[in-house]
């Protein structure tokens, strides 16, 4: 059984997609140990509670500086000891010490086709604003393992989504979620839970041992 901790910051629709996929059997062999939020008002915490999953608040504001937060956050994660950490709309940079302790065991969903529209300053609605500003005709979402860089780890899966002429950032965000994010992230978790992925030379491949 793959034990996961899901980290969230806001609405938690990706968290909901994970919980629904576990309930419906689209994700197998997986248990959510806890949901961690950096934001006290996150609707995601309500979603966790409604599912009987412990919600934990870890906000940088509660610590004197980022170093203290990073230490406490990493210690909390080690205490929970998940097999996989899932960043489902988590808008806090993962401390390097946590990346080192959970090498190739942290996944993130990003709302663009990496390496486009990613890195510092590209998160949430801002990504879709930049896509529209640039006039891109195709966007999408990416699930990737997390390394020390920003949106730079090995790519697990991507899905393209069309940009339409009259899109607003909100309309585009919703289409990317519906057509890509809520599908890709549960699939990636199920693939990991069932040992279908291997990382070789910084690239993710389908395991030849796959069932």
| Residue selected from 5, 14, 130, 197 as contacting ligand GAR according to rule CB under 6 A | 14
Rg of the Cα trace of the chain?
A: 17
Give the Cβ contact number of residue 63 at 10 Å: 15
Which of 68/125 has CB closer to ligand GAR? 125
| C-alpha distances out from residue 69 to 39, 63, 118, 195, Å | 14, 6, 24, 33
The residue (of 30 and 38) whose beta carbon lies closer to ligand GAR is 38
User: Would residue 128 show up in a list of annotated catalytic residues for this protein?
Assistant: no
Structure tokens at 144: 């990737």
Window 58-117: residues binding ligand GAR (CB under 6 A): 88-89, 109-111
Considering beta carbons, is residue 77 or 109 the nearer one to ligand GAR? 109
Which of 2, 4, 13, 84 is the binder for ligand GAR (CB under 6 A)?
A: 13
Residue-by-residue DSSP string for 99-167: HHHTTT-EEEEESS-TTSS-STT--THHHHHHHHHHT-SEEEEEEEE--SSSS-SPEEEEEEEEPPTT-
Judged by CB under 6 A, the number of residues near ligand GAR is 17
Q: What angle do CA 9, 76, 62 make, to 5 degrees?
A: 60
**Of these, 3, 11, 56, 179, which contacts ligand GAR (CB under 6 A)?**
11
Instruction: Restricting to residues 130-169, name those near ligand GAR by CB under 6 A.
Output: none
Least distance from C-beta 90 to ligand GAR, angstroms? 7
Beta-carbon contacts of 129 under 8 Å, excluding residues fewer than 6 positions away, are 169
Our CB check for ligand GAR shows the closer of 10 and 186 to be 10
Q: Which residues bind ligand GAR (CB under 6 A)?
A: 8, 10-14, 44, 88-89, 109-111, 123-124, 127, 177, 181
Catalytic positions are 110
């Amino acid at each position: 059984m793959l034990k996961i901790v899901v980290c969230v910051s806001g609405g938690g629709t990706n968290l909901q997609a994970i919980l629904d996929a576990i309930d419906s059997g689209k994700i197998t062999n997986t248990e959510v140990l806890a949901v961690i939020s950096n934001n006290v008002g996150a609707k995601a915490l309500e979603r966790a509670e409604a599912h009987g999953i412990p919600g934990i608040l870890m906000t940088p504001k509660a610590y004197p500086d980022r170093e203290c937060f990073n230490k406490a956050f990493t210690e909390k994660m080690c205490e929970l000891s998940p097999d996989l950490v899932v960043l489902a709309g988590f808008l806090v940079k993962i401390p390097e010490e946590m990346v080192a302790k959970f090498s190739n065991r942290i996944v993130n969903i990003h709302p663009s086709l990496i390496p486009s529209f990613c890195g510092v300053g590209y998160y949430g609605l801002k990504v879709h604003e930049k896509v529209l500003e640039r006039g891109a005709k195709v966007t999408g979402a990416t699930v990737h393992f997390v390394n020390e860089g920003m949106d730079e780890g090995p790519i697990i899966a991507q899905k393209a989504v069309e940009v339409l002429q009259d899109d607003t950032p909100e309309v585009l965000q919703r289409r990317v979620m519906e057509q890509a994010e809520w599908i890709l992230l549960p699939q990636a978790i199920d693939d990991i839970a069932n040992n279908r992925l291997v990382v070789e030379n910084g690239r993710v491949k389908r395991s030849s041992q796959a069932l």
